[in-house]
Structure formats: C-alpha cells, structure tokens
C-alpha cells in the first residue's frame, strides 16, 4: 500500500511539470506566452486528479472489503 501512495506522490508533480513544460515549448514555438503554459498546467492538473482518483479507488475498495469481512 505504501508503494501505491508513493507512486501517487510522484504522479501529481510529474503531470504538472510535463504539462507546464509542453505548454512552455508551444509558447516558444508560436509566441503565445503564457497561454499554452497555463493550458498545459490546467490539463496536467486534470489528468493528475483523474489519475489519483483511479489509483485510490482500488485502495478504498480494499478497505471496504476488509470492513465487511470483520463484521
């Protein structure tokens, strides 16, 4: 379980940094600073939130199963 949480801890900043980096690269290419950088961070944040939800969902289901087995 600890390894899954550690993965989540790296996943969030990875998505944000990658989105910002790609947005910055597009801003330099098209001269639209800072619009693509903002869009990249926003898209990275949305992807990070969806990914964290999908990573935590099995952990929550395991907890529910353990709770039902104890009853």
- At 4 the pLDDT is 76
Q: Quote the CA–CA distance of 1 and 25 in Å, as a whole number.
A: 36
Instruction: Give the range among 40-44, 59-63, 67-71 with minimum mean pLDDT.
Output: 67-71
- What is the maximum alpha-carbon separation in the chain? 62
pLDDT in tens, 27-44: 999 999 999 999 999 999
pLDDT at 32: 94
Higher pLDDT, 68 or 31: 31
Dihedral angle computed from the Cα positions of residues 10, 11, 15 and 21, in that order, rounded to the nearest 10 degrees = 30
Are the C-beta atoms of 22 and 38 separated by less than 8 Å? no
């Amino acid at each position: 379980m600890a390894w899954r949480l550690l993965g989540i801890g790296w996943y969030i900043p990875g998505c944000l940094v990658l989105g910002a980096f790609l947005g910055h690269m597009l801003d330099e290419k098209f001269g639209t600073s800072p619009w693509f950088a903002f869009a990249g961070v926003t898209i990275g944040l949305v992807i990070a939130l969806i990914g964290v939800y999908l990573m935590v969902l099995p952990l929550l289901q395991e907890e529910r199963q353990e709770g039902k087995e104890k009853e």
